[in-house]
Structure formats: C-alpha cells, structure tokens
A and B are shown apart, each in its own frame.
Chain A
Amino acid sequence: MRQPRLRRSMTAFVALVAAAALTACGGSGSGTDSGKDSLEAPGAEVLEKATDKTTIEFWHGMKGANAAAIDKLVADFNAQSGGKVEVKAIFQGNYDETIAKYKASVQQKNTPALVQIYDIGSRFMVDSKQTVPMYKFIDKDKFNAGDIEPNIANYYSIDGKLQSMPFNTSTPLLYLNKEAFVRAGFDPTKPPQNLDEIGEMAKKLTVKDAGGKTVQYGFGAAIYGWLVEQLIATDGKEYCDNGNGRKGLATKVQFDQETGVRVAQWWADLVKGGYATNTGRKTDDAQAAFKAGTVAMHLESTGAMRGYIDAAKGKFTVLTAPYPKASSSATGGPIIGGASLWINGVGHSDKQKRAAWEFVKFASSAEQQAKWHTGTGYVPVNAKALDEQIDKDWVAKYPQFKTAVDQLHALPPSVASAGCLLGVMPQARKASEDGLEAAIVGSKPADQAMKDAAASVQAAIDSYNKSVS
C-alpha cells in the first residue's frame, strides 16, 4: 500500500516542480516560432532561416553497448549540424518504462521532440494523436524512402503510409549447437524447418547421463510472447482481427485459434516428454541454458547472437538457421519488429519538429545504419547499409548473421508478417505468455489455456477502443 501511494505522491510532486519550471521558462521560449500543436511537417526553411540553435530531447530505451552506439550517433549528428541543431539523448529505462514516462509526459504537456518506442507501442502512438506521421515529412521533402527495408517499413505503416521511422530491428532465428548435432548423427547443414521437425530431432538431441539425469535438452527457449507471435505469422495467420488491426481498430486477439493452440500443445508436449527444458519467462535464463550447452536447439532474436558466439568460444560452435515455421505447409515468415522513432508535434515548434526530422534522416542513412548495425547487432533498417565496407567486414567475421539478412529479404510483405497493431499489445503479449506457460506447466490443457488467456485481455482491448473512439 505504502509503496504505490508514495510513488503516486512523488509523481505529483515531480509534476508540480516540472510545471513550475515550465512556467518559468515559458517566457524565454521561441515566442515568434510557429507550429505549436500542429501535426503537419514543416519544410527545411524553418531551420535555414533560424539564427539561434535549436535544441531537442530524444528519449530512448537503450542501455549498455546500444546506449554507447546511440551516444556516438547523436554526437556525430550534432557535430555535422554546424551548430544549428543539438540533440540531447536521454535514457528513460527499458521500452516499457520509456512508454510509461512518455504517457506521463503527455499528461504534463512536456513531451520530448523525438522518442524511441517499441514496435508493440505503435498503435498507441498513432491513437495518442501527438505525433507528426513520418510520411508527411517524406512527402514534404520528396525523400527517397525506398532504401528502407520494405518488410520493416511494413510494420510501421498504416494503409501504406509510414507512421514512424524504423530505427532498430531484430528478427528471430533458430540457434543450433553444431557439436550436439554432429554427436546425434544429424547433418548440421540441414537444420529443422518447422516445429514438427524440431520435435522429432529434439528426441535424439536429448542426452541423459548414466544416472538418468538429463545433461542436454533437445530444445529450450524462453516463454516469450514475441516468439509465439512470430510462429503464428509464419503460418500466415493474423494475430488480431481487422487485418491485424490495420483496417481498423482490432477488437480481439486470435492467438487462441488453431495455430496458437498448436504451438502451445507442441511446446507443452516437448517439455512433458523431457525433450525441452522450461526455463520460464526470463530470456536471460533461456540464454544461459543455451550458452551453457545444455540446450541443442533454441529460439532467440538476432540481438543475442554476439553474446552466444562469445560465450561458446572454445566450447561449441553456434549455428543459425531461419526461424522455423509453425507447420510443414506454412509459407509465411516472421514479423519484423524492433523499435522506431516518433516525432512529436503537439507542444513543439516547427524548428524542433524539423530538427527531429533531420536527425531521423541522419539516423536512417546507410552510413549511420552500418555503424549502428555493427555496433549493436540489430538488423540495419536501410538496405544500402549492407553495402558499406564496415558492414561487409562485420558480416564476414560473423557469418551466422547472414541468415537474418537472407530471411529478411526472402520474406514477401504480407498482412500476417506486418504484425498486429493493437493499443494494448504489451498486455496481449503478456496474456499469450500466461496461456503458453499454463499449458507448459500442465495446469490447463493447451486449448483451454490459450482461450482463457485471450479472454483475459478482452476487457483491456474493449476499454482501450472505447477511450480512442
């Protein structure tokens, strides 16, 4: 009791202080500048005419090596802007925390000019009506957006119009322990292509010691809703209704339909049979199991690859393969998510909006994306980045990464692999994890587990839709 109450009063206190500070600075702001609250894209002239420096805040959710790469990107941008624009990058916690702080900043009318929001926050960002859609800047400048990977742009587009600029993107892969494959008599160049094949191979890849104790499991991955979303997409199925929430507001999730239930059943059977280990929801724990060599086949994002290769050095060889399909007849591919950049219109001057766009253009250029990609391991959102020399060198050093790029290029854009746009997508993902976990630990049959999970998020969907319509 005391904790949340205290927190709330603290929030209020901070808000009071912030409000006081705002009123104090209000006078010195750009009174002559137009564009406050407009959601249109200003032209290049607003900055050219400006005599003073335009400063904008950029909120992001990256830490560690990724934060260092962002700071470098921002410093390079500031240096080349000739003193016209200064971007201040501010780390706001992980993606969930960043969107929570963004919501608070909207209430306090104190949003940053530029914010990085995860893929599953996209619908909320559109419905919040705070941002200038990216296509307006693109139209204004006749900017060539053709270099942006079509499958990535697809996620952030509604009716073919780009809402935000993709920034960092990861795609899921199947990771394999090469030596475990060889020991089991499998050809490591012929990885399993769908869930049934993984299930069959997992039986032979599970190894017990003399005492009957399992020392190596055939399969292991985190109970992570993202992986389920990807599997449903490979089956060409939509995760939520109304064309994955792109024709109109989605009114229900569909992970309780056939594919979702089949995935849960498949996973639960593997765990029950002793061929897969259940390390729970924490991706760290599932990663640790693969790094320790106790899991032969594993599903994770490209983002984990560097860590795997480093950890496996001297112990085993990490191989990557395209993400498995939900069935042998499935023809779709995974969803390309990640996070994107949103330019706030409400409460920002034309100069600030323009400055944010200049930074967005810079950040998505081939040269910067190559640096970003090699510094972080994310997939470059700009297709030309792969032609940059530093990128070629990097891919030569980590050939495992080529799987991700090939997978991305092989995928025909489709509604299923564009992913579901849903205002309460983070809660829907959590619900799918509830369902999957209930099936895996055997507390409910798979179909019932997924059905209950989908039902549990219905109230949140209804209330969200009510509040935006």
Chain B
Amino acid sequence: MVFALFVFWPLGRTLYLSVHGNDLFGAPSVYVGAEHYREMLTAEFGKVLATTGLFTLFSVVPAVLGALVVVLLLEARIRGVRVLRTAFALPFAFSVATASVVFAVIYNPAIGVANGLLGSLGIDRVNWLTDPSIALPAVCAATVWMNFGYNVLVLSAGVAAISPEVVEAARLDGATGWRLASRITVPLLSPQLFFLVVVSTIHALQSFGQIHILTKGGPDQATTTLVYSIYEKAFAFGSSDFGSASAQAVVLLVVMLGCTAVQFGILERRVHYR
C-alpha cells in the first residue's frame, strides 16, 4: 500500500502529466499526446543526454578506481594507517550542499584557493566554472571527492571481510604486492565493486545539488544534465512546464533502467561471489 502510494502513483502521475499541456499555474490542461516527447528530438536535448553520459562516466569511474587504489595502498602495514583511512572516508560526512559550497569557494575565479595555488606557481588563473570546456570536469572532480569517502568505506569493509587464510595461502605461494592485489584481493572485492558501480551510476544520473550550486547548468549549457533540465523545465525561471519536465523524467527513468540492465548483463558475470 505505502509502496503503491509512493512509487506507482507518482509514476502514473508522471506519465499522465507527460502527455498533457499546462495552464498558467502549471495544472494539467489538454491532452497533447506525444508532443512533449517530440519536443525532445533536438540537438539541444542530444547535448543534454551527452552531458549526462559524460558526467556519469567521469564521476563514477575515477571515484571507484581511485577508492580501490587507496584501499589497496592502505593495506600496507604502516604507522598511522587508521588515521589515513579515516581521512579518506571523511568526505562521506559532508552533505552535497556543504561540499558544493566549499567547492564553489575553491573554484571562485577572483578569491578561490585553486587559482591562488596556481598563481603562486606562476600559472595564470583558470576559469573553473565559467569556461565551458573546464566546467564539466570541475563539477565531476567535486562529485568524485564527495563520493570518494563512501567508496573507501565500502571497499575497506570488503577488504576486511576477506578471510586472512586466503591471503596467507597466497603469500605462502609467493604472491606479493601487485600480484596479490590483482589475482586475490580485487577478484574477492568484485561484489563490492559491482555494487559501487551500479549504485554510483544511479546516484550520478540523479545528481542535482552540486550542479545547482556550482554552475546552474552553465556555462553555455555545459553542465546541464537530464535532472537539471527537468528542474529547469518544472521550477526554474518562473517556468511551470510540468508536461515537458515529466516527459524528460520518463526518459531519465528509461535511461536508468537501461544502464542498470546493461551493468547486470555485462559486469555481473565477472563478479565473484563467495
């Protein structure tokens, strides 16, 4: 019942809104059929989809791979490793809004830390969030930082769950360093890695806070992802075009289902469950 109320009813409502026009106040008016879906067949919307894809790719892959490398390095038995592990997991404690505001300050063109550092190295200032070719990587970098802590936590837990006997046996067979990591640890971590890839892909496709706070979809639409486009149609700039927004929301749902299905189809086969 609760499930139906909070999942199926809104979904049904979204589908309903996506085939209706809107009156002045945003209430559904006349039936328009596939009109809102036809509106999407433009180069602009193609760019939105491409941006969404790039954003997802460059926020998921570095965050998962980076966390894996860090976790493997932290396996080394050195002093202060627990402090380091805590430090790497710390971004998890920041909300998206807090972290985004911090990054907004870091990236600030006039007074930001990023340009300050570059300046002390004698490099001219970079327009982090106002240069269309740099803004998307900059937002991705912020997102990677935000997701890093969670990934480190999950992978650390995975490493801790690997039974010491297996590792010991491998060591006795002469496996160390890279060989131990690539043949034993990583395959045994594959369930966690798969989980992270699936979950962070969905998470990335839904990202809103950092884009809203850092770039508002700009410059020149360079960071307008699907979710941001939905928001703009529905709520921003006095717009209340819930019809078009709902149609895009349906597309997002399809994209997400597609991504997840592909990941289960291709990646899951290589996952080694204990």
Give me the interface of A with B, judged by CB distance under 8 Å: 1-6, 8-9, 12, 96, 99-100, 103-104, 106-107, 120-121, 124, 127-128, 211-214, 223, 277-282, 285, 288-289, 292, 294, 423-427, 429-430, 434, 437-438, 441, 443, 456, 459-460, 463-464, 467-468
Contacts and interface: CB of A to CB of B under 8 A. Distances in A.
A93 to B, nearest CB: 11
Given A434-B221, A437-B220, A443-B220, A427 B239 contact: yes
B219 A5 contact: no
Contact of B237 (A96, A279, A285): A96
Contacts of B122: 211, 213
B220 A441 contact: yes
A288 B124 contact: no
Contacts of B245: 4
Contacts of A292: 110-111
A452 to B, nearest CB: 9
A437 B129 CA distance: 12
B130 A438 contact: no
Contact of A288 (B110, B208, B219): B110
A437 B110 contact: no
Nearest to A220: B110
Given A8-B13, A107-B27, 9 more contacts: A5-B249, A9-B9, A9-B13, A103-B26, A107-B26, A426-B238, A429-B237, A443-B220, A468-B24
Nearest to A5: B10
B21 interface: yes
Interface string B1-31: 0000110011101100000011111110100
B9 to A, nearest CB: 7
A124 B24 contact: yes
A213 B124 contact: yes
B220 A434 contact: yes
Contacts of B230: 4
Contacts of A289: 109-110
B11 to A, nearest CB: 7
Contacts of B75: none
B238 A96 contact: yes
Q: Which applies to chain A's interface (DSSP): helix, strand, loop or mixed?
A: helix
Nearest to B242: A8
B218 interface: yes
25 contacts: A1-B206, A1-B227, A6-B10, A8-B10, A9-B6, A12-B13, A100-B235, A103-B240, A104-B25, A128-B25, A212-B124, A213-B119, A213-B124, A213-B125, A279-B130, A288-B110, A288-B111, A294-B110, A426-B239, A438-B220, A441-B220, A459-B39, A460-B239, A463-B241, A467-B21
A4 B110 contact: no
Contacts of A213: 119, 122, 124-125
Contacts of A128: 24-25
A96 B236 contact: yes
Interface residues of B, number: 55
B132 A443 contact: yes
Given A100-B238, A426-B238, A467-B24, A3 B218 contact: no
Nearest to B253: A1
A424 B221 contact: no
Contact of A460 (B44, B205, B241): B241
Interface string B228-260: 001100111111110001000100110010000
Contacts of B23: 467
B206 A2 contact: yes
A1 B256 contact: yes
A213 B125 CA distance: 8
A6 to B, nearest CB: 7
A279 B221 contact: no
Contacts of B9: 9
A1 B252 CA distance: 6
A8 B14 contact: yes
B139 to A, nearest CB: 13
B216 interface: yes
B52 interface: no
A430 B231 CA distance: 14
A279 B128 CA distance: 9
B249 A279 contact: no
A96 B231 CA distance: 13
A278 B109 CA distance: 9
B257 to A, nearest CB: 10
B51 interface: no
Contacts of B237: 96, 426-427, 429-430
B19 to A, nearest CB: 15
Which 10 pairs show the lowest CB-CB distances between chains A and B? A280-B130, A426-B238, A426-B237, A289-B110, A5-B10, A9-B10, A103-B25, A430-B237, A292-B110, A1-B252
B34 to A, nearest CB: 16
B206 A3 contact: yes
A425 B130 CA distance: 24
Contact of B249 (A1, A127, A434): A1
Given A99-B238, A100-B235, A285 B24 contact: no
Contacts of A425: 238
Contacts of B256: 1
B268 interface: no
Contact of B25 (A8, A106, A120): A106
Contacts of A438: 220
B168 interface: no
Given A5-B10, A6-B10, A424 B249 contact: no
Contacts of B239: 424, 426-427, 460
Interface string B109-123: 111000000010010
Contact of B108 (A1, A127, A285): A285
A40 B230 CA distance: 39
Residue among B6, B130, B206, B256 having the largest count of chain A Cβ atoms under 10 Å: B130
B242 to A, nearest CB: 8
B119 A280 contact: no
Nearest to B135: A280
B132 A441 contact: yes
A414 B151 CA distance: 61
B240 A100 contact: yes
